[in-house]
Amino acid sequence: MRFRFTQAAIDTGSARRELLDLGAGGYASFEGWVRDHNEGQRVTHLEYEAFQELAVTEGDRIVTEALKRFPVKHALCIHRVGGLNLGEMAVWVGVSSAHRGEAFDACRFIIDEVKHRVPIWKKEHYRNGDSGWVNCERCAAAPNHSHDHVRHDEPALSAPE
Amino acid sequence: MSTAPVYGLILAGGLSSRMHSDKAALQYRGQSQLDRAFDMAGRQVAKVFVSVRANQTHDSARAHKPLIVDSVDGDGPIVGIRSALAAFPHAAWLVLACDLPFLSDAVLEHLLAERNPAALATAYRSAHDGLPEPLCGVWEPAAGPALAAYQAGGGHCPRKFLIRHAAILLDPLDKRALDNVNTPEEYADALVALENAYHTDPMQLNIRYYALMREQAGRSEEIVETTAATPADLYTELHARYGFTLAREQLKVAVNSEFSDWSRKLAAGDAVVFIPPVAGG
């Protein structure tokens, strides 16, 4: 599987080694980190929950699509589940390829699609004691607006762009 | 201006000439289609009436229901709709033909959720020709005078009226939902299709809940005994049981660990997961 979950900290060193290829001229990666604020709230920690069977299937489909769409050598995505503290890495994407352009493009494609399609949920805990499931609580407050699971999460990132 | 309350109006005054018998009395799963439509509307709105012609008020299939008797002249369903709007001028009407055997709670729930009170009406597009389906729609109070003017100008077709007056049109949830039944042959086909599509016996399904829905259900999994035929019906049932804050339109659904249509036929032992808006990364 080119998409997997881990309860423990993501080992980027060993993940990167899975992408090594003598035909590759380089490698691009993306790391999503737990940020201390979101939408004006002070975030203290996060919980990630996943529907793992389907998430791994869908995540692997996304990476496979990236390998078809871009002329790259290897690609891999690893996502954390469970509780995470500020500054910890929530997600890692790595791509190796002959040339840098498609490595960046494939990396961007994978992280964007993962955010939109893979059944993973994020609960933010705030300094004021509140907590909330990202993208779900606002939807609940506005049940009549149409929902495509796609555009909603853009302003709600806990990881930097 | 506040939003008008919605009442239900079941249209059962048609002449049933192609059926050679009273359509309202046709039976599906042991229930007349008039009773079925009446109960279905009653699950969505507080008051439901049956639209009848003056000579039908003592008819045995209809007499025990709250009735709205045609009070304006003319032919066709517009007369029934206008009579209801005249009887309760401040109400909007969930108008349903009684001969829609494939109609489901999910179809009505979606219609009411998407209703726009600022339009004259909200209705579905036909899955066959894309034109409005006037006899499964919400008609607002302001449609009363407009319908009167349309009839005065010689109009009698509610579908043409909706085309002309820019009603809000929704995409159908599934292709057959609004198919109607006009002939004995269509009735026979519908009986077979319904027998195949619906489980009459309750079955057990494995449900798992995640994130916000897990918290609202107060559990992460359960075995549910249900007669729900599709994930859409199942969500309607569980939404009522647990008071989920998310509307069905905000969710996706998976059956046996793969994304599924809302109209897929469920089988005993299926594992169903409702998927709230995701937030990975």
Encode pLDDT of A63-87 as tens digits. 999 999 999 999 999 999 999 999 9
CATH number of the domain bearing residue B270: 3.10.20.30
**pTM greater than the 0.80 cutoff:** no
**C-beta pairs of B256-260 under 8 Å, 24+ apart in sequence:** B257/A53, B257/A54, B257/A57, B258/A54, B258/A57, B259/A54, B259/A58, B260/B231
The beta-carbon neighbor of A91 closest among B275, B276, B280 is: B280
Do B190 and B210 fall into the same domain?
Answer: no
Task: Write down the pLDDT at residue B192.
Answer: 78
Task: Write down the pLDDT at residue B200.
Answer: 56
- What is the arithmetic mean of pLDDT over B143-147? 95
Inspect the interface and report whether the beta carbons of A121 and B276 lie closer than 8 Å: yes
What are the φ and ψ backbone dihedral angles of B262, each rounded to 5 degrees? -70, -20
Encode pLDDT of B193-229 as tens digits. 776 665 457 899 999 999 999 999 999 999 999 989 9
Task: Write down the pLDDT at residue B58.
Answer: 79
Query: Residue B4 gets which letter from DSSP?
Result: P
SS3 A115: helix
Encode pLDDT of A129-144 as tens digits. 999 999 988 555 444 4
Say whether residue A39 is in contact with chain B using an 8 A CB cutoff. no
Inspect the interface and report whether the beta carbons of B208 and A51 lie closer than 8 Å: yes
Do B99 and B221 fall into the same domain?
Answer: no
Strands B92-97 and B31-32: unpaired
Encode pLDDT of B14-51 as tens digits. 666 666 677 777 777 778 888 989 999 999 999 999 99
Across the A/B interface, how many CB contacts are shorter than 8 Å? 102
Judged by average pLDDT, the poorest of B12-16, B103-107, B185-189, B207-211 is: B12-16
Per the rule left: phi > 0, alpha: psi between -120 and 50, beta: everything else, A87 is left
User: Mutate which of A149, A153, A158 to test chain B, going by most B C-beta atoms within 10 A?
Assistant: A149
Do B191 and B54 fall into the same domain?
Answer: yes
**Total domain count for chain B?**
2
Per the rule left: phi > 0, alpha: psi between -120 and 50, beta: everything else, B230 is beta
B45 assigned to some structural domain: yes
Encode pLDDT of A82-136 as tens digits. 999 999 999 999 999 999 999 999 999 999 999 999 999 999 999 999 999 999 8
CA distance B278 to A50: 9
Do B18 and B150 fall into the same domain?
Answer: yes
Do B211 and B187 fall into the same domain?
Answer: no
- CATH classification of A3-156, choosing from 3.40.50.620, 3.40.50.920, 3.90.1170.40, 3.40.50.1010? 3.90.1170.40
- Burial of B214 by CB count in 10 Å (0-12 exposed, 13-18 middle, 19+ buried)? middle
The beta-carbon neighbor of B281 closest among A58, A114, A137 is: A114
Q: Are B44 and B17 in contact (CB under 8 A)?
A: no
CATH number of the domain bearing residue B25: 3.90.550.10
Do B103 and B228 fall into the same domain?
Answer: no
CA distance B240 to B227: 15
B13 assigned to some structural domain: yes
DSSP run (H or E) holding B207: strand B203-208
Say whether residue A136 is in contact with chain B using an 8 A CB cutoff. yes
B281 assigned to some structural domain: no
Do B43 and B154 fall into the same domain?
Answer: yes
Do B191 and B212 fall into the same domain?
Answer: no
Domain borders along chain A are 3-156
Say whether residue B280 is in contact with chain A using an 8 A CB cutoff. yes
Residues 6 or more apart whose CB falls under 8 angstroms from that of A28 comprise A94, A95, A100, A103, A104, A106, A107
Residues 6 or more apart whose CB falls under 8 angstroms from that of B60 comprise none
Of B195, B214, B238, which residue constitutes the final position of a domain? B195
| Average pLDDT in chain A | 88
